[in-house]
């Protein structure tokens, strides 16, 4: 197994020491680099002072080429003076990675885009043109990179007892601005909106008898549990078709505007959650070069599998006084197909990350992603663990080992570590042992940053 290293935000921390870092990373099994968003620390930032400590606005890594935006019929972003020395150092960093034979990708290459339109971002043609123009400008500015990785967009997938308290709250995710998009895809917006409201009411009126009757009944049972609502099915289908159409549009526009082949990837949620977010792995594998499903398993914080399950259970219990914790877990299983070994109540989720969990869940999530490609190199899951992944509970180096060993057993060849600023010594020992030569801190001048930064 090999890995790509993610360099997120504070690009300077890697640029200034890239030769030493790349040597250590290559020895540990790194064969790819993902850097971005493509912005530098604020121009007035003093050496050693990090963006979150100062709070200044970041600086784009390049000045826009107006010709690119004219080709797309959009207004370029404002020109901001770029520190020339940093730009040259970034190019040198990319070149050094390529000289090692690594894949080099830019994360969120659309960052810094100019103004788009007034419509919903998944439907507005001017907004998509502005996004694609910025991506093309980025790739043309850095001709040595292989491609770009997008993080979203996606539809919301969470429920929350605080009603819209979560950043990805599903019931706040069908604004009137998508009405034209619904119509263009053959859906009636009012019907989908009404179905969303009926689902909300349904999830407030669950009873133990309904859960016992339907939750273990597979697809048909889950359909009954959620009200046998054809418009609800249409809403879920709309989410998939709209997101698939968005990525197809980006792929077509960027590909046709480039003078050289460029690869594109996207990081969806893991296979269990992906359809609710609008991701169809099979369709996306036919559009994009790489899929990077989020192999995020922590509790609390955001985007972790155990944390999402906890919020669903917590919310269903808050909304339905008669349900037991076991009932709520059965509803989660009916919706997502997720049964966590040894978990029978919320308290069990505090220690859900057992060897059995990784053997069952991590392997299943990996196999499901790999099933859509004939080349396993096209699946490169995001992995994060460490002290506070996405503000979540810590995941140990032992968890990382179990995750990697089971993912590899399922057929995985490569993963993306998110991100080098948070990498702990324990994680690097495990990752380097599995992917390359085990790191020895007594013989190496490299030490993981372990900064605990989002």
Task: Tell me the per-residue pLDDT of 29-46, one tens digit each, with 9 for 90 and over.
Answer: 999 999 999 999 985 554
| pLDDT tens-digit map of 46-81 | 444 454 454 568 999 999 999 999 999 999 999 999
CB 225 within 8 A of CB 334: yes
pLDDT digits (tens, 9 = 90+) for 6-35: 999 889 999 999 999 999 999 999 999 999
Task: For residues 440 and 445, give the distance between their C-alpha atoms in angstroms, rounded to a whole number.
Answer: 9
Residues 246-256, buried b or exposed e (16+ Cβ, 10 A)? bbebbbebbee
Q: Are 223 and 210 in contact (CB under 8 A)?
A: no
Residue 343 in 3-state DSSP?
coil
Q: What are phi and psi of 444, to 5 degrees?
A: -110, 145
**Ramachandran assignment for 344, one of left (phi > 0), alpha (psi -120 to 50 degrees), beta (any other):** alpha
Query: 104-126, pLDDT tens digit by residue?
Result: 999 999 999 999 999 999 999 99
By three-state DSSP, how is residue 297 classified?
Answer: coil
What's residue 259's pLDDT?
93
| Percentage of the chain modeled with pLDDT above 70 | 96
What is the pLDDT, as a whole number, of residue 47? 47
Nearest CA to 423 out of 7, 2, 102, 1 is that of 7
For the ranges 44-53, 204-213, 302-311, the lowest mean pLDDT is seen at 44-53
**Residue-wise pLDDT tens digits, 145-175:** 999 999 999 999 999 888 666 678 999 999 9
pTM of the model: 0.95
What is the reported pLDDT for 51?
47
How many CB atoms lie under 10 A from the CB of residue 174? 21
List Cβ neighbours of 140 (8 Å cut-off, separation of 6 or more).
65, 68, 258, 259
DSSP codes, 360-395? IIIHHHHHHHHTT-SSGGGB--EE--BSSGGG---B
Q: What is the pLDDT of residues 228-241, one digit of tens each?
A: 999 999 999 999 99
328 pLDDT exceeds 70? yes
């Amino acid at each position: 197994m090999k890995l790509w290293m993610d360099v997120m935000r504070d690009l300077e921390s890697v640029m200034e020491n890239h030769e030493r870092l790349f040597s250590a990373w290559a020895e540990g099994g790194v064969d790819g680099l993902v850097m971005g968003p493509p912005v530098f620390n604020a121009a007035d930032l003093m050496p050693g002072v990090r963006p979150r400590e100062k709070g200044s606005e970041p600086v784009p890594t390049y000045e826009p080429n107006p010709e690119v935006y004219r080709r797309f019929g959009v207004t370029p972003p404002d020109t901001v003076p770029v520190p020339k020395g940093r730009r040259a150092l970034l190019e040198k960093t990319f070149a050094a990675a390529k000289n090692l034979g690594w894949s080099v990708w830019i994360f969120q290459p659309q960052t810094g885009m100019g103004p788009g339109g007034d419509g919903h971002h998944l439907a507005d043609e001017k907004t998509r043109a502005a996004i694609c123009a910025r991506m093309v400008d980025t790739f043309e500015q850095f001709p040595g990179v292989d491609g770009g990785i997008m993080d979203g967009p996606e539809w919301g997938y969470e429920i929350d007892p605080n009603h819209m308290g979560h950043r990805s709250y599903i019931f706040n995710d069908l604004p009137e601005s998508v009405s034209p998009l619904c119509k263009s895809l053959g859906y009636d917006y009012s019907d989908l909106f009404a179905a969303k409201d009926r689902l909300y009411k349904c999830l407030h009126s669950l009873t133990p008898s309904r859960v016992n009757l339907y939750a273990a009944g597979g697809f048909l049972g889950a359909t009954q549990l959620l009200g046998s609502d054809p418009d609800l099915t249409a809403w879920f289908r709309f989410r998939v078709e709209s997101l698939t159409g968005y990525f197809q549009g980006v792929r077509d526009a960027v590909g046709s505007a480039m003078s050289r082949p460029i690869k594109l990837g996207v990081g969806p949620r893991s296979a269990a959650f992906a359809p609710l977010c609008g991701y169809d792995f099979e369709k996306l594998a036919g559009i994009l070069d790489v899929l990077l499903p989020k192999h995020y398993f922590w509790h609390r914080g955001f985007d972790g599998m155990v944390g999402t399950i906890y919020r669903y259970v917590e919310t269903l219990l808050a909304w339905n006084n008669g349900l037991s914790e076991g009932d709520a877990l059965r509803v989660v299983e009916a919706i997502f197909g997720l049964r966590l070994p040894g978990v029978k109540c919320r308290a069990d989720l505090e220690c859900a990350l057992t060897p059995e969990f990784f053997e069952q869940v991590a392997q299943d999530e990996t196999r499901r992603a790999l099933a859509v490609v004939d080349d396993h190199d096209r699946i490169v899951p995001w992995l994060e663990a460490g002290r506070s992944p996405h503000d979540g509970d810590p995941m140990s180096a032992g968890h990382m080992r179990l995750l990697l060993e089971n993912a590899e057993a399922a057929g995985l060849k490569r993963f993306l570590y998110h991100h080098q600023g948070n990498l702990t010594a324990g994680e690097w020992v495990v990752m380097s042992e599995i992917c390359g030569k085990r790191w020895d801190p007594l013989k190496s001048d490299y030490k993981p940053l372990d900064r605990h930064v989002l």
